[in-house]
A and B are shown apart, each in its own frame.
Chain A
Amino acid sequence: MAKIIAGVGCSHVPAIGAALDHGRTEEPYWKPLFDGFQRSKQWIAETKPDVVILVYNDHASAFSLEIIPTFALGCAAEFPPADEGWGPRKVPVVKGHPELAAHIAQSVILDEFDLTICNKMPVDHGLTVPMSLMFGQPEEWPCRVIPLAVNVVQYPPPTGHRCFMLGQAIRRAVDSFDEDLKVVVFGTGGMSHQIQGKRAGLINSQFDAAFLDNLTEDPQALVRKPHLEYMRDAGSEAIELVMWLIMRGALNDDVREAYRFYHVPASNTAVGNIILENA
């Protein structure tokens, strides 16, 4: 049977992708950040997941304002890197897992989560930057990826509670898939940041540390956190952190924190990375 073995939380700043793609990882500004991901890269190389379910948000790449799905599951065989205005990132095409994706869609919809199903979807930095941070720069990605895009562009995003429950439903779906697969769930975006208006540049390291602590130990303390609190205390774009709760919902109640890394800044953003293993 398929099995979710771990979750990864990871920020997805576009400038990180640009630094990697342009060979700037050894520059003093970037080196501490990329050094901080070494342990995670090693962990995932050893863990060798067959499938990553990657929860992220699209940044007006696949979805404009014409269609704004709250939850969109990528069921295609392939997902090309999106052109976000400066040409597509030169990273491998993302290979999906259409059979497991279709199974998840069917299972969670009957479990009362009315997903949008996407059979054609370019994927932007929200998905490709966490892939690069965790897997480096291979010729081909070493596993299949099922993208789950969450609307955080137009307010309101789904609540943290809803996200957590969707994670639980995804867990039930994966558990009932009749093929031996090791699955890791990524929750991406965040941490504290604001990239618009006069308050741009806001960072709240205390908020982020508390979020990471609770994510491991007491996720129920996070699931009722109102959107206003994320936006007010950690910046308007920190609302992306609700996506980490989908990852957390897909794990056991008890998890082991295998690794944590936190760094300020990457461009406008506080970068967090956490690995939670099912205990």
Chain B
Amino acid sequence: MATLHDYDDIPGTTVFDAERSRKGYQLNMFCMSLMKPENREAFKADERAYVDRFPMTEEQKQAILKRDWNEMIYLGGNIYFTSKIAATDGLTFQNIAAEMTGMTQEEYLQMMIGGGRSVEGNRSLAEQLRG
């Protein structure tokens, strides 16, 4: 049984704590390997073969291959690590952040130019449930 934390109540937010770090260790260490240019090349040349070098779960591997950024986070990935996959793909933090929200790139860009997402109504799941 996982412990409940005060921060679990923040909507649309995953706090990368020790438990998630443990769960995502291999996934994040795979991401870390992409810091080296030769590894980026090897990954790009044959993604499946490259992810198989790391003792990740099949779920984690599929999330990477599908570039399912939210799923990677759910499976223990940390954004500063998974962003190294994005960098390998030529994507920015903004690109993957937009994708995680489900908005189009243009919608997200415009939201940010307009001052970003408001905190009103986005503070608490309990508050959202109460409506």
Residues of A within 8 A of B (CB): 14-15, 18, 29, 59-61, 64-66, 82-87, 153-156, 192, 194-205, 207, 227-228, 231-234, 236, 264-265, 267-268, 270
Contacts and interface: CB of A to CB of B under 8 A. Distances in A.
A231 B123 CA distance: 9
B interface secondary structure, majority: helix
A154 B116 CA distance: 25
A64 B32 CA distance: 7
A267 B32 CA distance: 23
A interface secondary structure, majority: loop
Interface in B64-117: 70, 73, 78-81, 83-84, 86-88, 90, 92-94, 97-98, 100-102, 108, 111-113, 115-117
Contact of B73 (A86, A196, A232, A233): A196
Contacts of A65: 21, 25, 28-29, 32, 81
B70 A85 contact: no
Given A85-B83, A195-B97, A264-B112, A202 B21 contact: no
B112 A228 contact: no
B61 interface: no
A197 B35 contact: no
B122 A201 contact: no
Contacts of B13: 194, 196-197, 199, 231, 236
Contact of B116 (A59, A86, A203): A203
B60 to A, nearest CB: 14
> Which 5 A-B residue pairings sit nearest by Cβ, starting from the closest?
A203-B116, A85-B87, A199-B12, A198-B12, A200-B97
A155 B17 contact: yes
Interface residues of B, number: 54
Contacts of A60: 28, 31-32, 78, 80-81, 84
Contact of A264 (B81, B83, B98, B115): B115
Contacts of A153: 16, 78, 80
Interface of B: 6-7, 10-18, 21, 25, 28-29, 31-32, 34-37, 40, 70, 73, 78-81, 83-84, 86-88, 90, 92-94, 97-98, 100-102, 108, 111-113, 115-119, 122-124
Given A65-B25, A153-B78, A192-B116, 15 more contacts: A14-B92, A82-B35, A83-B36, A85-B83, A154-B17, A197-B70, A197-B101, A199-B12, A200-B98, A203-B112, A207-B119, A231-B15, A233-B123, A264-B116, A268-B97
15 contacts: A60-B32, A65-B21, A65-B25, A82-B35, A84-B35, A154-B17, A197-B100, A198-B100, A198-B101, A199-B13, A201-B108, A231-B7, A231-B15, A264-B112, A267-B112
B35 A83 contact: yes
A236 B10 CA distance: 9
Contacts of A82: 35
Given A14-B93, A60-B84, A232-B10, A199 B31 contact: no
Contacts of B79: 195-196
B15 A155 contact: yes
B10 to A, nearest CB: 5
